[in-house]
């Protein structure tokens, strides 16, 4: 299961299982993509500032494993955590809803 074909086969098998919920699957994929996007933004900004994960954690009032987990796309940060991270990264946290193409 190390090549793309194996992953595609596994995905196809999952999709064809009885009781498969396509909407739930798509929502999970969208959430994972957002987590990766957020992880990349945090890591890139931290590196721009020349900070280690420990230094960022200290600035944000977090622990280094928390920063590591976020940078790997794991966990679900709270709004407060995102605000503290933004401040520590010399950024402003902004949350907003935008219309989709369907709207």
- CATH number of the domain bearing residue 17: 1.10.260.40
Q: Is 98 part of a structural domain of the chain? A: no
C-alpha to C-alpha distances, 46 to 24, 27, 39, 41, 66, nearest whole angstrom = 33, 29, 11, 8, 14
pLDDT over 70 (residue 8): no
Q: Is 23 part of a structural domain of the chain? A: yes
Q: Is 16 part of a structural domain of the chain? A: yes
- Count of domains observed in the chain: 1
Q: What angle do CA 96, 99, 103 make, to 5 degrees?
A: 160
pLDDT over 60 (residue 45): yes
Residue 49 sits in which domain range? 4-88
Q: Is 102 part of a structural domain of the chain? A: no
Q: Is 74 part of a structural domain of the chain? A: yes
pLDDT tens, residue by residue, 49-70: 999 999 999 999 999 999 999 9
pLDDT over 60 (residue 1): no
For the entire predicted model, the pTM comes to 0.71
Non-local CB neighbours of 1 within 8 Å, separated by 6+ positions: 7, 10
Q: Is 20 part of a structural domain of the chain? A: yes
């Amino acid at each position: 299961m190390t090549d793309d074909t194996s992953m595609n086969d596994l995905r196809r098998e999952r999709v064809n299982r009885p009781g498969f919920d396509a909407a739930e699957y798509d929502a999970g994929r969208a959430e994972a993509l957002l987590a990766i996007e957020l992880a990349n933004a945090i890591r890139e900004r931290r590196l721009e500032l020349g900070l280690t994960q420990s230094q960022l954690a200290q600035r944000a009032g977090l622990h280094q494993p928390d920063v590591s987990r976020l940078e790997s796309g794991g966990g679900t940060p709270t709004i407060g955590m995102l605000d503290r991270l933004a401040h520590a990264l010399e950024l402003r946290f902004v949350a907003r809803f935008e219309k989709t193409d369907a709207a």
